[in-house]
Amino acid sequence: MYGSFFHIFEIKKMKQIEIELPAFGRGFHLITKIIINRLGELPQTGLINIFLQHTSAGLAINENADLDVREDFESFFNQWVSEDCMCYKHDCEGADDMPAHIKSSLMGQSLIIPIVRGKLGLGTWQGIYLCEFRNKAFNRKLIVTIYA
Give the model confidence (pLDDT) of 104-132 as tens digits.
Answer: 999 999 999 999 999 999 999 999 999 99
pLDDT bucket at 1, cuts 50 / 70 / 90: very low
- 44 close to 120: Cβ distance less than 8 angstroms: no
Which phi and psi angles does 101 have, rounded to 5°? Answer: -65, -40
Tell me the torsion sign for CA atoms 18, 21, 22, 23: negative
What is the Cα–Cα distance from 57 to 133, expressed in whole angstroms? 5
According to the model, what pLDDT value does residue 92 have? 79
Per-position b or e across 92-117, b if 16+ CB within 10 A of its CB: eeeebbbbbbbbbeebebebebebee
Give the model confidence (pLDDT) of 16-55 as tens digits.
Answer: 999 999 999 999 999 999 999 999 999 999 999 999 999 9
pLDDT bucket at 63, cuts 50 / 70 / 90: very high
What is the Cα–Cα distance from 34 to 109, expressed in whole angstroms? 17
Kindly report the average pLDDT of the chain as a whole number.
91
Q: Which domains, from first to last, does the chain contain?
A: 13-147 (2.60.120.460)
DSSP assignment string, 33-93: HHHHHHH-SPPSEEEEEEEE--SSEEEEEEE-S-HHHHHHHHHHHHHHS-TT-TT-S--TT
How far, rounded to the nearest angstrom, does the alpha carbon of residue 20 sit from its chain's CA centroid? 13
Pairing relation of β-strands 45-52 and 110-116?
antiparallel
Residue 6 has pLDDT above 70, yes or no: no
In this structure, the number of other CB atoms found within 10 A of the CB of residue 22 comes to 12
**What is the separation, in whole angstroms, between the first and last Cα of the chain?**
27
pTM of the complete model: 0.88
